[in-house]
């Protein structure tokens, strides 16, 4: 019997073994006890180092771009199906018009990387149910329903790997297209008082199946970013089951708090053993004092919409976005900043420009953001503070025109002070005025008008 056949039989046997195992996985989709060798701290390590990521809301809603039957539709662009009360069969027509030929995954990933971002969270499926990958569980996807016929998530996975950026997927539990989910709720797709008797079937044979498909075909992923958990049929038990299920598929993955039923408050988050989810996700806001004791990530739009709207030009300034990034880091959180690409596959120019400008600042000052933790100084009048063992990073937004920067609530011995942008780390004079306060002598002009970082090397207590 020649070798080839032997090899084939052997490989086939392996194949069957593997198939057998996944079918066991598939059939039971029973919860394999996740490999808990990885503690939560180990899983969260890269996340706590990263601090800054790109959120991408993209889908066929970028075709109408906030306009339906010639009318501007209020609310976020990705909600147009619900806000304009569009029947499923009419909304599906947008898929036929979705042909983003200018889409370049490499370019997107480089825009994120150049901005200083370390991870990307893209909407694999938003509330409208449309899938940005080639799924064997539906034809309502980029390959079967559009003229584009390229697997967007596959191309992004490749580009992320190439540029060392963590790929993460947003995935909506709510689904306005699936008959076992919220499609039958038309015209009120988002009616959280309504229930679908077949929702369990949707969870078991569509939601879980697609999540397995996503992790196995495009993983390993950094984060699975759930959303839409407020639908009536989603329960706390389902959230916990889903948390275990996803960990069984990839034991080192991170899962946000929206896998659970209730978006957990601070007090609950730090008892995460009891609640499903690894970290909190404040939206469009920055918690005044952060979420002490918990990991968290503020997600925010650059204008007023997540998905692309052609008439939304209310862009936040670069200064505002940089100050927000520093404010969030100074409270121990991550910043997930959103872009909403067009139906041609382009990230809007105002977003590209602001991200490039943020990147210029991060190229010089990234050390004062990555891997830092919350300020030990409390409120300071001139800006914010981040820290690492042995170092304090003073982020000065309001530069002292008298050249005297007072630093309160600081009892540690200061070994040295210098501008982070100064590669020679030339010493800045430091004088202690009392046991709690020092003064750093600086130039009268702010080296960086948005945020100048002064490093204090301190003796740890």
Report which of 374, 388, 390 is spatially closest to residue 330, judged by C-alpha positions: 374
Block residue for tokens 């809603």:
61
Contacts of 216 (CB under 8 A, 6+ apart): 249
**Distance (Å, whole) CA 293 – CA 270:** 6
User: Measured from the CB atom, is 309 or 395 closer to ligand FHN?
Assistant: 309
* Nearest approach, Cβ of residue 86 and ligand FHN (Å): 16
Is 306 a binding residue for ligand FHN by CB under 6 A? The answer is: yes
Count interface residues toward ligand FHN (CB under 6 A). Answer: 7
Q: Does 73 bind ligand FHN (CB under 6 A)?
A: no
- Of 74-82, 133-141, 208-216, 289-297, the segment contacting ligand FHN by CB under 6 A is 74-82
Figure out which of the listed residues 283, 360, 367, 422 binds ligand FHN, where binding follows CB under 6 A.
283
Contact region for ligand FHN (CB under 6 A) — 1-9, 60-68, 72-80, 161-169? 72-80
Nearer to ligand FHN (CB atom), residue 75 or residue 359: 75
- Smallest gap from residue 305 Cβ to ligand FHN (A): 9
Mark 390-405 as b/e (b = at least 16 C-beta within 10 Å): ebbbbbbbebbeeeeb
Min separation Cβ 333 and ligand FHN, Å? 15
**Residue count (the chain):** 461
By C-beta, is 341 or 400 nearer to ligand FHN? 341
Quote the least distance from Cβ 346 to ligand FHN, whole Å. Answer: 20
> Minimum distance between the CB of residue 299 and ligand FHN, rounded to whole angstroms?
5
**Residue 257 Cβ, how far from ligand FHN at the closest point, in Å?**
12
By CB under 6 A, tell whether 296 contacts ligand FHN. no
Closer CB to ligand FHN, 283 or 360, in the complex: 283
Question: Which residue stretch of 75-83, 102-110, 175-183, 396-404 sits at the interface with ligand FHN (rule: CB under 6 A)?
Answer: 75-83
The reply to whether 227 sits near ligand FHN by the rule CB under 6 A is yes
Tell me how far, at minimum, the Cβ of 170 lies from ligand FHN, in Å: 7
Q: Are 213 and 153 in contact (CB under 8 A)?
A: no
CA dist., res. 459 & res. 330, Å (int):
20
Name the segment binding ligand FHN (CB under 6 A); options: 60-68, 71-79, 87-95, 311-319.
71-79
Pairing of strands 223-227, 71-72: unpaired
φ, ψ (nearest 5 deg) of residue 111 = -60, -40
Q: How far is the CB of 190 from ligand FHN (least distance, A)?
A: 8
**CA separation for the pair 35, 16 (Å, rounded):** 24
Are 339 and 302 contacting, i.e. CB atoms less than 8 angstroms apart?
yes
Nearer to ligand FHN, 58 or 79 (CB): 79
Which part of the chain contacts ligand FHN (CB under 6 A), choosing from 15-23, 73-81, 135-143, 248-256?
A: 73-81
CB-based contact 260:276 (threshold 8 Å): yes
| 131 vs 458, beta carbon nearer ligand FHN | 131
For residues 371 and 48, the answer to whether their CB atoms sit within 8 Å is: yes
- Rule CB under 6 A: which of 76-105 touch ligand FHN? 76, 78-79
Shortest distance in whole angstroms from residue 79 CB to ligand FHN: 6
How far is residue 270's CA from residue 407's CA, in Å, rounded to a whole number?
A: 31
- Rounded to the nearest 10 degrees, how much is the dihedral formed by the CA atoms of 171, 172, 173, 178? -110
Cis peptide before 218 (omega within 30 of 0): no
Q: Beta strand 452-458 with 391-396: parallel, antiparallel or unpaired?
A: antiparallel
Q: Is 299 in the site for ligand FHN (CB under 6 A)?
A: yes
Least Cβ distance, residue 383 to ligand FHN (angstroms): 28
* 128 makes contact with ligand FHN (CB under 6 A): no
Q: Tell me if 259 contacts ligand FHN by CB under 6 A.
A: no
Using DSSP's 3-state secondary structure scheme, residue 141 falls into: strand
Taking CA atoms, 134 is separated from 89, 127, 130, 228, in Å, by 20, 18, 11, 22
The pairing of strands 223-227 and 254-255 is parallel
Contacts with ligand FHN, residue ranges (CB under 6 A)? 76, 78-79, 227, 283, 299, 306
């Amino acid at each position: 019997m020649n070798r080839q056949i032997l090899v084939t039989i052997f490989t086939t046997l392996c194949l069957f073994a593997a198939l057998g195992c996944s079918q066991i996985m598939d059939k039971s989709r029973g919860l394999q006890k996740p490999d808990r060798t990885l503690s939560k701290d180990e899983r969260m390590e890269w996340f706590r180092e990263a601090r800054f990521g790109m959120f991408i809301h993209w889908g066929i809603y970028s075709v109408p771009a906030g306009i339906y039957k010639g009318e501007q539709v209020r609310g976020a662009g990705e909600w147009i199906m619900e806000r304009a009360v569009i029947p499923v069969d009419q909304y599906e027509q947008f898929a036929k018009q979705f042909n983003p030929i200018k889409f370049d995954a490499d370019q997107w990933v480089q825009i994120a990387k150049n901005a200083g971002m370390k991870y990307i969270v893209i909407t694999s499926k938003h509330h409208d149910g449309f899938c940005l990958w080639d799924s064997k569980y539906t034809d309502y996807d980029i390959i079967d329903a559009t003229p584009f016929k390229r697997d967007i998530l596959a191309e992004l996975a490749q580009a992320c790997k190439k540029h060392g950026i963590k790929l993460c997927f947003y995935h909506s539990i709510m689904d306005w297209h699936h008959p076992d989910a919220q499609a039958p709720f038309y015209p009120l797709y988002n009616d959280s008082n309504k229930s679908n008797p077949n929702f369990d079937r949707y969870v078991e044979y569509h939601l879980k199946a697609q999540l397995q498909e996503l992790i196995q075909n495009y993983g390993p992923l950094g984060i699975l970013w759930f959303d839409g958990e407020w639908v009536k049929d989603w329960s706390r038990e389902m959230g916990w089951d889903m948390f275990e299920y996803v960990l069984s598929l990839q034991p080192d993955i991170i899962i946000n708090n929206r896998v659970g039923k209730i978006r957990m408050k601070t007090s609950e988050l730090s008892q995460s053993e009891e609640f499903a989810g690894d970290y909190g996700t404040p939206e469009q806001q920055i918690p005044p004092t952060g979420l002490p004791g918990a990991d968290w990530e503020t997600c925010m739009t650059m204008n007023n919409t997540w998905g692309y709207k052609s008439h939304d030009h209310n862009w936040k300034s670069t200064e505002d976005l940089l100050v927000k990034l520093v404010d969030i880091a100074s409270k121990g959180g991550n910043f997930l900043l959103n872009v909403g690409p067009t139906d041609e596959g382009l990230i809007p120019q105002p977003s590209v420009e602001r991200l490039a400008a943020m990147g210029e600042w991060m190229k010089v000052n990234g050390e004062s953001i990555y891997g830092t933790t919350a300020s030990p100084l409390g409120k300071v009048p001139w800006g914010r503070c981040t820290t690492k063992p042995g170092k304090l990073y003073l982020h000065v937004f309001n530069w002292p025109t008298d050249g005297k920067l007072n630093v309160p609530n600081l009892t540690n011995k200061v070994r040295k002070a210098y501008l982070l942008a100064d590669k020679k780390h030339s010493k800045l004079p430091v004088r202690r005025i009392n046991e709690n306060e020092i003064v750093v002598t600086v130039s009268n002009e702010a080296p960086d008008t948005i945020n100048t970082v002064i490093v204090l090397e301190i003796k740890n207590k």
